[in-house]
Amino acid sequence: MRYWKDCWGVNSMYYARVFITLKKSIADPQGNAIKEALLSMKYDGVEDVRMGKLIELKLENPTREEAEENLKDMCEKLLANTVIEDYSYEILEV
Amino acid sequence: MRYWKDCWGVNSMYYARVFITLKKSIADPQGNAIKEALLSMKYDGVEDVRMGKLIELKLENPTREEAEENLKDMCEKLLANTVIEDYSYEILEV
């Protein structure tokens, strides 16, 4: 599907959030430290804490599909270390 | 509102995600470094990158309201540095 935007080279702005988390099998000492701190502050309900990264991006692309494709590529190549980390993302048009 | 769970001391499990981001007025050199790296990899659409933290928690609480109240408290007191950081969260029952 082509939009009139393509013809005129007008790009849309997208706001993307990438969530990077350690894989379940990887130990997370930082998360454990936070858990212990919370328990020592009497938040007894805390069962588990995992620490991850949040990357917010502003992307200028002609279409949402292209933005998503680029974003996935960036995650694989730079943002996430896929040996030990999982990633997910969400994209909003702004 | 009281549920039968309260009477029997049965707790529900909640999964919470806390998003911690630097306030807009605070410089983010880590985000800038990622942006420069992406631009050098020919992702020309990247306009801005901000780096934040993602904290995933498993909480055992009698009610969703209590879980949320506790979580907000944790953010204010430990998880976020509210002088330079903003936080938001979402809670799912599992």
Q: Classify domain A10-26+52-93 by CATH architecture.
A: 2-Layer Sandwich (3.30)
Please name the residue that has the structure tokens 């805390």.
A46
Please answer whether residues A76 and A89 qualify as being in contact, where contact means their C-beta atoms are separated by less than 8 angstroms.
Answer: no
Please name the residue that has the structure tokens 């988390």.
A21
ipTM: 0.86
Mean pLDDT of A64-77: 95
Q: pLDDT digit string (tens) for B70-84?
A: 999 999 999 999 999
Looking at the domain B4-93, which fold is it? Mth169; Chain: A , (3.30.1280)
pLDDT at residue A2 is higher than 60: no
How much is the pLDDT for B4? Answer: 54
Mean pLDDT of B58-77: 94
pLDDT band with cut points at 50, 70 and 90 for residue A59: very high
Q: How far is the alpha carbon of B51 from chain A, nearest alpha carbon, in Å? A: 5
Q: pLDDT digit string (tens) for B5-35?
A: 555 667 889 999 999 999 999 999 999 999 9
Mean pLDDT of A58-66: 93
How much is the pLDDT for A7? Answer: 54
How much is the pLDDT for B5? Answer: 53
**Range of lowest pLDDT (A33-37, B9-13, B54-58):** B9-13
Interface with B, mutate which of A17, A26, A57 (most B CBs under 10 A): A57
Mean pLDDT of A5-9: 58
3-class SS of residue A38 = helix
How much is the pLDDT for A90? Answer: 96
Q: Which residues of A touch B (CB under 8 A)?
A: 11, 13, 17, 19-21, 31, 34, 37-38, 41, 43, 45-61, 66-67, 70, 73-74, 77-79
Domain range annotation of chain A: 10-26+52-93
**What's the DSSP call for residue A10?**
P
Q: What angle do CA A1, A79, B33 make, to 5 degrees?
A: 110
Please answer whether residues B86 and B23 qualify as being in contact, where contact means their C-beta atoms are separated by less than 8 angstroms.
Answer: yes
Averaged pLDDT score across all residues of chain A = 91
What secondary structure, in 3-state letters, does B56-94 show? EEEEEECCHHHHHHHHHHHHHHHHCCCCCEEEEEEEEEC
How much is the pLDDT for B11? Answer: 84
Contacts of A82 (CB under 8 A, 6+ apart): A76
- Strand pairing partners for A17? A56, A90
How much is the pLDDT for A58? Answer: 96
pLDDT band with cut points at 50, 70 and 90 for residue B94: confident
